[in-house]
Amino acid sequence: MRWPSRRRMLPTVIGVTLVTTVAADIAVVVARDQSGTTAGPADERLVAAADPAGYTPGAVSALRKEIVPHVLVASEQTIPAAYVEAVRHVKGVKAVEVVDAARAFVAGKRVGVMGVEPSTFRAYTPEASAKSDALWRNISGGDVAISFTMGKDGGVPLASWTQIGGTDHKTAVRVGAYATMGIGQVDAVVSHATARSIGMPSGNALLVSAPHTDVAKLRKALAKVLPHGAKTAALESRYDGTSAPGSAPNGRVMTAPQVNTVIRAAESKIGMPYVWGGESDAEGGYDCSGLVQYAFAKAGIRMPRTADIQAFTGWRLPFSQAQPGDLLTWKNDPTFNGVSHIAIYLGNNKMVVAPHTGTDVQIQTVYMTNFWGAIRVNPQLAARKAGGA
């Protein structure tokens, strides 16, 4: 799959290739579940122990409060301190976090990476990640934390050393934790110091929290105080009704020919390898959400790229009401209470799915462990959710 959310995928907000070839073109989405339940504190088994070779975790401050970001500001270059201060004084703004943002290669995959100050950035992440002191100590000490799905589904072992950087320069960094950070397509988080070592831009992005403020008006106000070239992206809620439990489809759904096309397209990839982040034959295979996106595209339906957003492209129904062509969803990520796995229902208790690294696209019997619901897709809503994802 790729990874979890509370918000829809946004258009690319940064688009530049640095001299180090670390491209800063992240598409960002804040991902917090507002369904009324939250994941518990991160299981310490998801955080690497101190390296026996003498690795020493860094010191971090305790979590004081949790903060919900509403707007991302991003630039190709460092955002000067005077502009950051001006953002802090915009009406309604309660908190601003300066981060480094880029796309870089991590374990051979080009993913979104953020460089952060662990003691303060932790407040902007989902509860399970925010509360884990060990996780943030490891990041402060030089480790990288990767999303649970990248680690587990992508086959990147905890406590292993992996290469991070651009095409011309990479640095070996230890995988210190599996932790979903709440920002979709950001699958890796490091400290500012580690970000510098791999050639990432410095302080080129901001997370802005402005509770009870109209986001459209906030973006206009921010545009007036930001430097030329800086872009803003609204982090809108995606947990907003359409996939409410038990809601009945009362709008446009797929036609029978579309359903048949989706199923045929997905089944045509049976035997193709699971590749984390994969969405085409050219990449050598598919992950779960990449397979869904491919199959629906063949039926003329634009789908978001990640499983958590795909789960909000229609009506959520119990499995007893599932029909062929519906999406089936699971919450398997113990570090975040969001959808992390998805499949296409075939009927008769069977589904076509790309399971995880080491497997192929295949037909399986539907299982109920961590099952979240069946999704009756609304093609128009799917296209809106896809946005620039």
- DSSP state letters, 92-106: T--EEEEEEEEEEEE
- Please choose, from the candidates 309, 32, 330, the residue with its C-alpha nearest in 3D space to the C-alpha of residue 182: 32
DSSP-assigned letters across all residues of 187-249: EEEEEHHHHHHTT--SS-EEEEE-TTS-HHHHHHHHHHHSPTT-EEEE--BS-SSTT-TTPPP
The answer to whether residue 240 scores a pLDDT higher than 80 is no
Q: Is the pTM of this model over 0.75?
A: yes
**Alpha-carbon 360 to chain mean position:** 23
Lowest-confidence pick of 170-184, 299-313, 353-367: 170-184
Binned at pLDDT 50, 70 and 90, residue 53 comes out as low
d(CA 136, CA 47): 10
pLDDT of residue 243: 54
Where does the pLDDT of residue 171 fall: very low under 50, low under 70, confident under 90, or very high at 90 and above?
very high
Rounded to the nearest 10°, the torsion over CA 29, 30, 32, 34 is -80
Are the C-beta atoms of residues 338 and 330 closer than 8 Å to each other? Answer: no
182 band by pLDDT with thresholds 50, 70 and 90:
confident
Return phi, psi of residue 164, to 5°: -130, 135
**pLDDT by residue (tens digit) across 8-39?**
222 333 333 222 223 333 333 444 444 434 44
Amino acid at 119: S
Out of 42-46, 103-107, 157-161, 359-363, least confident range: 42-46
Nearest to 26 by CA among 192, 176, 206: 206
Pick 26 or 270 by higher pLDDT.
270
Domains belonging to the chain, first-starting first, are: 29-234 (no CATH), 256-386 (3.90.1720.10)
The pLDDT mean for the chain works out to 85
Q: What is the pLDDT of residue 56?
A: 67
Tens of pLDDT along 96-111?
999 999 999 999 999 9
Please give the torsion angle defined by the CA atoms of residues 85, 181, 114 and 99, in that order, rounded to the nearest 10 degrees.
Answer: 10
**pLDDT number for residue 4:** 37
Q: How far apart (Å, rounded) are the C-alpha atoms in residues 125 and 66?
A: 8
Residue where the block lists tokens 């399986």: 364
Identify the residue with better confidence: 27 or 180: 180
Q: Identify any residues that bridge with 30 across adjacent strands, giving them in sequence order.
A: 183
Residue 244: its pLDDT value, please? 52
